[in-house]
Amino acid sequence: MKRKIIFFLILLLIFSFYTIAVEAEVIHLKIDGEINNAEYAFINKNLTAAEKERAEFIIIEINSLGGYVDPALKIRDRILESDREVVTFVSGRAWSAAALIALAGEEMFISPSASIGAAETRPKEEKYISALRKEFAATAERRNKNPQIAEAMVDSSIEINDLIEKDKLLTLTAAEALKYQIADFSASTLADVAVIKKVNLSDIKTVEKTTLEVIMGIISGPYISSLVLIIAFSALIFEALTPGFALGGTIGILALLVFFASHIFTGSIGTGIVILFIIGIILILAEIFIIPGFGIAGITGIAAVIVSLFFIFPNTTIAINVLLAVILVTLVIAVLMFKKFGSSRFWKRISLESNSENYYSSSSKTDYLNQEAKTLSKLRPAGTIVIAGKRVDAVSEGAFIEKGKKVKVISVSGSRVVVREISEGE
């Protein structure tokens, strides 16, 4: 008898552990702002966590006016690929790109005061309309909904009898969405969703964005990104105008780190873009401080920087607008700083005051060998010296030489003049 009781208790214990193990949470996520890469990063991270935890199902609550197509497509694909049930709950508006995400749920719940649709493309061109229209249709078909109604949310040329006229973009009220079976259930609150899905409200775990996710999402937006880039480049220009390495360089580097960190955090870019940007900066610095004049290295560096920044933003239009704004505003700030602080070290390096009537750069210089001269600019290691009353391109033997120092020409090879600083004892 005692053995039977022990056996029964063991079975009961095993059953209890099994019940606890299979009991899964319901995860509740919110999309309540602009659809962007930060939203995708948030959804992707938490869907992955819910899948690992074997959540019973996931609720994605939507109240958004839309946003960018690319992140919306990635969220849509992520929902469709999930091995957990994902339902969507339109608690307010699911317009534009948000409508596509709402359609992706296995079931759609909609609040009586909500609406869905109005997914007009920007820019309004046929190739964009056609592509997005088919994405809406394919998503609706996957969830056994009317694909023509989904397409009419994108394409105003579609006419549906008793629902939408031609040249009108479709937006459905909650009642219409339920009538035409775009939405599956009416639910005013999350509690209503819980009742319909037959789960306890207490079993639903709402996952909020962390402070870091919110901050990174704000910084990675086009407007704030533009401002951060303007601050970064303006600070670096200020650094070029002032001696030593101080506040300008520190602010510029920190701003660039914040800029790239925000976009890496939200998944907008990979390491390749960052590497391309760094290569561009290195080429520009090499052109300024090592290679005389301004040529291939500088142009290639600028091109690399622009290309790397171009591919960070969600579409071509935004990328062009951001880059133009950054370039124009930074140029204006640069001009104001030039007027305030005078010619920069950068400008002196790339121009070498080539307009001076006493400047010689490419004529035969063999007569300069063993002559003494004076540095007209810093040699890092390239710069300008004055010799026999003439300005000449020169390169230091190795170490940097400050402006105003006495030097001696120790080697001449074609147009290359190599000098060494004269010490006080010589």
Residue 19 CA neighbour count, 13 Å, CB half? 6
Up-side HSE of residue 418: CA atoms within 13 Å toward CB? 8
| Phi, psi angle pair for 41, to nearest 5° | -60, -40
pLDDT attached to residue 289 = 66
Please write the tens of the pLDDT for every residue from 340-372: 765 545 545 444 444 444 444 444 567 788 888
Written as six digits, the tokens of 95 are 């317009």
> Environment class of residue 415 by beta-carbon count within 10 Å: exposed (0-12), middle (13-18) or buried (19+)?
middle
Which residues in the chain land under pLDDT 70?
A: 1-24, 242-245, 288-289, 291-295, 341-365, 424-426
User: CA quadruple 35, 37, 42, 47: dihedral positive or negative?
Assistant: positive
Q: What is the pLDDT of residue 336?
A: 86
Are residues 31 and 62 in contact, defined by beta-carbon separation less than 8 angstroms?
yes
* Three-state SS sequence of 225-294: HHHHHHHHHHHHHHHHHCCCCCHHHHHHHHHHHHHHHHHHHCCCCCHHHHHHHHHHHHHHHHHHHCCCCC
Which residue in 349, 331, 226 sits closest to 286, CA to CA?
349
Q: What is the DSSP string of 38-73?
A: HHHHHHHHHHHHHHHTT-SEEEEEEEE--B-HHHHH
User: Which sequence spans correspond to the domains of the chain?
Assistant: 23-209, 218-348, 352-421
Which 3 state secondary structure label does DSSP give 142? helix
Q: From 3.90.79.10, 3.90.226.10, 1.10.3210.10, 3.40.50.1400, which CATH number describes the 23-209 domain?
A: 3.90.226.10
Residue 6 belongs to what H/E stretch? helix 2-22
Instruction: Tell me which H or E stretch contains 133.
Output: helix 126-142
With the C-alpha atoms ordered 401, 407, 410, 415, is the resulting torsion angle positive or negative? positive
Stated pTM of the model: 0.72
What are 97-138's pLDDT values in tens digits? Answer: 999 999 999 999 999 999 999 998 887 889 889 999 999 999
Pick one of 3.40.50.300, 3.40.630.30, 3.30.56.10, 2.40.50.140 as the CATH number of 352-421.
Answer: 2.40.50.140
> What are residue 33's phi and psi, to 5 degrees?
-145, -160
205: helix, strand or coil: strand
Helical segments of 153-189, H only? 174-179
* CB-based burial label for 351 (10 Å; 0-12, 13-18, 19+): middle
| CA 256/CA 259 separation, integer angstroms | 5
Q: What is the pLDDT of residue 370?
A: 86
